[in-house]
Structure 1
Amino acid sequence: MEEGKKEINLDSVLESLGPYGRYNLLNFVLLLYPILLSSFFECGFIFEAQEQMYRCEVYGCEQRFNDTSWIQYAIPTDVKNNKLESCLRFAPVSNTSMQCLPEDFSTNKTLPCETFVYEEGRSFVKEFNLGCQEWKRALVGTIHNSGMFLAMLFTGAISDRFGRKVAVGFASCASLIFGFSRAFAPNYLSYVALHFLEAGLGGGLYPSAYVFIVELVGLKQRVIVSAMCNMTFVIGVVLIALLAWVVDNWRTYILILYCPAIIVVIYIWFTNESARWLLSKGRRDEAIRVLKRAAKINNLDERNLELEALGDPLLKPKNQTEDKKSQFSKALRSSIIWKRLLICSFLWLTCSLVYYGLSINSVSLSSHRYVSFMLVVLVEIPAYIVVVIVLDKYGRKKTLVATYLTCALTSLLFAFLPRSDWWSIPLYLIGKWSVTLAYSSVYIYVSEVFPTNMRQTLISFCSTAGRIGSLMAPVTPLLSYYHKSMPTVIFGAMCLISSALVLLLPETRNMRLPDTIEEAEELSRMKRKPSRNGHL
């Protein structure tokens, strides 16, 4: 290239367009909306199938509306939790009609419940009569996350093959159809089947919209845009708690969550496709038309953008193309890559299990489940801000070790110290803040320790391990039936193990991304290597 002549590529064009011009701001709004909705669809089940208070129905006594004193004689008390037993009742002394007096019940013998009395409201547990079948309620979250696991297998393929807006439109449409239908499920089996289909076909909404919005801007704005997406998701989760607070009918709750998706289904087809994706597919003329339209909306002279000189920045020359089979076999033979893959997979699994586990268990954190949940979610916002600062200042390893240890310490203190709203809630919030920071760091770190020619494949493997953690998280509240602190003890133990495993990995701060298996292996043998632009 001649001296002084600027290289024309898509990033330079996007910088010239202005990252926050009217065109981008309009698209930010249009794409942040489905990201907001994805929080509804991914986390709505927490309150949709939330815990319900119930007890045994005692025949002959329930009709005594003006007198409930008999309950203390008929229903045992769970001393550990200081509340009535949900699944047991005292045996009647005789089968004759009772006066519901103390002498009518045998306190030495209990019987399992046959029917139940539920608290007021139209809840999921009450309508499907799931009393003493907590596993069925907890299974809803696992089935949902199983569907999300399925969505991972083809979301990227749809997005890469057919385009970003097709992927967003498809996911929005699937979420609308199956989510809306779930509000009219006649029984438990049809309900969970629709839950699986909704998550399996619509679970790619967030990653599709995220990729679309990141491709609107150049390199310098991607961190900020990513933070915008994360914060929008958090706002959506807070809105879920507020909605569940005021709507006690689970079917109405679902309809309110999913009906807004119809707006995305309508307008997404009128948006412009990602210029970066069009270029990657060799559709250069279409990409130029999109960029010209963007320049017109931003009141810029398209001639200054030198669009006609725009090539395909993603297309590699043939002599740089490597044999994928050869690289795959090299990865299989590399003990360093295998060790790194297993450790990173465990780190991702820990983050996913603890992150979702703390969110789900937060509804039992205090007497006000909705406020507790909102606090646990809102604490994520400062974590997304801090991670941008500490990763570059202190390095990846120190940040991960510190955050895992902090989460482990707060989880174990919360488990073994007496509960008090004055300090137990702050401890819980610090733990959630720490694992959120660790989760964000792992996303970045994992992409830096694997080579370019195998990066997407190996990251997908780690992400799959993380999805196993999210599958396990919904059933962790069941462990509290054995011991109220068991979930947080498990979270703390996982974080302790992860903090130790991080020490076995290389530091990647200010190191250039490895392109080959050999360069990735070399990370473990060096302390610092200059980046490609010459800076340390």
Structure 2
Amino acid sequence: MEEKKKDINLDSVLESLGPYSRYNLLNFMLLLFPVLLSSFFECGFIFEAQAQNYRCKVPACEDYNDTSWLQYAIPINPKTEKLETTLRYVAISGTVCGPAAFSNVTERCDSFVYEEGRSLVKEFDLGGQEWKRVLVGTVHNSGMFASMLVTGAVSDRFGRRVAVGIAAMSSFIFGVIRAFSPNFLTYMSMHFFEAALGGGLYPSAYVFAVELVGLKQRVIVSAACNMTFVIGVVILALLAWLIDNWRTYILVMYTPALIVALYVWFMNESARWLISKGRMSEAIKTLQAAAKINNMDPRQLELYSLSNPLLTSDNQTVDKSSQFSKALRSSIIWKRLFVCSFLWLTCSLVYYGLSINSVSLSSNKYISFMIVVLVEIPAYIVVVIVLDKYGRKRVILVNYVICAATSILFAFLPRSDYWSIPLYLVGKWCVTLTYSSVYIYVSEVFPTSMRQTLISFCSTAGRIGSLIAPLTPLLTEYHKSMPTVLFGGMCLISSLLVILLPETRNITLPDTIEEAEELSRKKSKAIDR
């Protein structure tokens, strides 16, 4: 049976409950904690498998307290002006360590000496195998890529609460197992499974939180999630700075996920999701429970809800197979899915591409990382103001253009300490604001019945960007400006594609395919409430 026209929108009911009431504030706290943890799980590998200083081992000379022999035993790399990490001079047998102890012929190293510390590179003896260390990030992002497809299906089929619970428990199980990995192969396998089964923690918690409020609070809730994520990344950098042992570092990151996996089952399911699945009686119970917590009269809320056919009878259900088939036949949904996926891919590529080189901004890589991350907080504050004032499309378009301009200027203008870093940070600020805006926008243009699935598809496209980003430094072998030119070009293309999308400012979340299509068939009109 087709869904009947709604007399009262769910957003009105949510407004009557109070967007920042006791019930919602409690749920926000419970959902922001997994958002915080997701920043550990998504970015933890950056420090978990960070580069380690090492050199070739020279067996004949290692017992000497004086290391002056190093200049004769190991050649200097002309690019870095440091000792080579994989080459040494062939030793002449029978001579004492010194200038005459080595020939001018080099050979590949078969063993290495590492700097102090309990690093992954040192423990698994990855010296001379840099590709294995870099592969950690690739495997992690590959797992995240797979998780986006699984998470959307689980969330839309079984509920937001189930998706959060499964992701949290998977992160805990495979994260802790990874901390006790006996070898590199086991470590990589656990890394993939942890990301593939637990990588949906952030999008699941995000959608859950957004669906708790009406249209006027969506931007604020989204910004709160994003700022919580940033705070988590800063805490992550501090943990990496303080914890020298990579196994302890992993345990500290992943153990708290067990708390989320336990308490999420005591939370009420999203009323909006329940309604989209035709489970009206459960939705009414959820809303009545919220009213009780807020010290409201549940009977008053029930009477208010009874005027809405969607909230009164389990017979008024949405034909799920019909909705799915309509989505497949809808050229509007397909076009929107393609454009939103490309926007997400661009944001991910540029965001992570700029972040990769952040460690070079100062001598302390942890401080550099935190500086580039902290610049995101003002962006999340500004996004709350500008999205509702100027609209989604205008904000996204303008920031894509500015990011493109800063990237291209950074590529072709001569480097200077006076403007290079500020320009770099402006670019990161703009792409962060755009990323946050796109996340909000995508959640508004797709229907509730398929929202998580379609958001996950777009997020999967974003994972392609995060997979490509670590490879962009290789482009400098052809021209030093190619990475930033690529970023600028992608931003320009995205700014043009934004024009094809509808404005969603002050428009209630669409619940069906028909409502989502209607956004493109009429001019956007602000709804005064």
TM-score, normalised relative to structure 2 = 0.85
Between the aligned residues of both structures, percent identity stands at 65
Say if 1:64 and 1:423 are closer, same or farther in 2 by CA, change over 3 A. Answer: farther
* TM-superposed deviation, 1:253: 0.2
Contact 1:60 1:98 in 2 (8 A): no
3-state DSSP of counterpart to 1:80: coil
Q: Which amino acid aligns with 1:53?
A: N
* TM-superposed deviation, 1:321: 10
* TM-superposed deviation, 1:77: 2.0
Q: Which residue of 2 aligns with 1:98?
A: 95
Contact 2:152 2:455 in 1 (8 A): no
3-state DSSP of counterpart to 1:216: coil
Q: Does the alignment pair 1:356 with 2:355?
A: no
* TM-superposed deviation, 1:498: 3.2
Please say which of residues 502-511 and 232-241 is displaced more in the overlay. Answer: 502-511
Q: Which residue of 2 aligns with 1:531?
A: 525
* TM-superposed deviation, 1:61: 1.5
Q: Which residue of 2 aligns with 1:35?
A: 35
Please say which of residues 243-252 and 431-440 is displaced more in the overlay. Answer: 431-440
Q: Which residue of 2 aligns with 1:211?
A: 207
Task: Find the partner of 2:141 among 129, 139, 145.
Answer: 145
Say if 1:397 and 1:266 are closer, same or farther in 2 by CA, change over 3 A. Answer: closer
Residues 180-239 of structure 1, C-alpha deviations (whole Å, 9 max, x = no match): 000000111100100011111111111111122222222211111111111101100110
Residues 70-110 of structure 1, C-alpha deviations (whole Å, 9 max, x = no match): 22222222232232222222233x2x133222232334x32
Q: 1:167 and 1:319 mapped to 2: Cα distance?
A: 23
Contact 1:295 1:301 in 2 (8 A): yes
Say if 1:256 and 1:341 are closer, same or farther in 2 by CA, change over 3 A. Answer: closer
Q: Does the alignment pair 1:83 with 2:69?
A: no
Say if 1:112 and 1:405 are closer, same or farther in 2 by CA, change over 3 A. Answer: farther
Q: Which residue of 2 aligns with 1:194?
A: 190
Q: Does the alignment pair 1:463 with 2:463?
A: no
Q: Which residue of 1 aligns with 2:310?
A: 312
Q: Does the alignment pair 1:276 with 2:247?
A: no
Residues 444-498 of structure 1, C-alpha deviations (whole Å, 9 max, x = no match): 5567788999987766554332211112234445667x48x85x73243232243
Give unmatched runs, 5+ long, in structure 2: 1-5
Matches within 5 A, 1:157-168: 157-168=153-164
Say if 1:451 and 1:521 are closer, same or farther in 2 by CA, change over 3 A. Answer: farther
Determine which structure has greater relative contact order: mean sequence separation of CA pairs < 8 Å that are 6+ residues apart, divided by chain length: 2
Q: Does the alignment pair 1:493 with 2:486?
A: yes
Q: Which residue of 2 aligns with 1:506?
A: 500
3-state DSSP of counterpart to 2:133: helix
Residues 505-532 of structure 1, C-alpha deviations (whole Å, 9 max, x = no match): 4364478799589878878xxxxx2527
Matches within 5 A, 1:387-536: 387-391=383-387, 399-412=395-408, 414=410, 423-444=419-440, 461-476=457-472, 482=477, 486=480, 489-500=482-493, 502-503=495-496, 505-506=499-500, 508-509=502-503, 515=514, 529-531=523-525, 533=527
Say if 1:364 and 1:130 are closer, same or farther in 2 by CA, change over 3 A. Answer: farther
Contact 1:8 1:306 in 2 (8 A): no
TM-score, normalised relative to structure 1 = 0.84
* TM-superposed deviation, 1:371: 0.5
Instruction: State the aligned residue count.
Output: 514
Contact 1:171 1:202 in 2 (8 A): yes
Contact 1:408 1:493 in 2 (8 A): no
Q: Which amino acid aligns with 2:51?
A: E
3-state DSSP of counterpart to 1:191: helix
Contact 2:156 2:451 in 1 (8 A): no
Q: 2:43 and 2:194 mapped to 1: Cα distance?
A: 13
Q: 1:497 and 1:59 mapped to 2: Cα distance?
A: 51
Say if 1:521 and 1:289 are closer, same or farther in 2 by CA, change over 3 A. Answer: closer
Give unmatched runs, 5+ long, in structure 1: 1-5, 524-528
Q: 1:531 and 1:42 mapped to 2: Cα distance?
A: 38
Q: Which amino acid aligns with 1:467?
A: R
Q: Does the alignment pair 1:74 with 2:70?
A: no
Q: Which residue of 1 aligns with 2:3?
A: none
Cα RMSD of the aligned pairs, angstroms, is: 3.5
3-state DSSP of counterpart to 1:110: strand
Contact 2:32 2:205 in 1 (8 A): yes
Q: Which residue of 2 aligns with 1:3?
A: none
* TM-superposed deviation, 1:431: 2.1
* TM-superposed deviation, 1:251: 0.3
Q: 1:452 and 1:164 mapped to 2: Cα distance?
A: 12
3-state DSSP of counterpart to 1:130: coil
Q: Which amino acid aligns with 1:74?
A: A
* TM-superposed deviation, 1:375: 0.9
Q: 1:10 and 1:33 mapped to 2: Cα distance?
A: 26
Q: Does the alignment pair 1:44 with 2:38?
A: no
3-state DSSP of counterpart to 2:51: coil
Task: Find the partner of 1:295 among 291, 296, 299.
Answer: 291
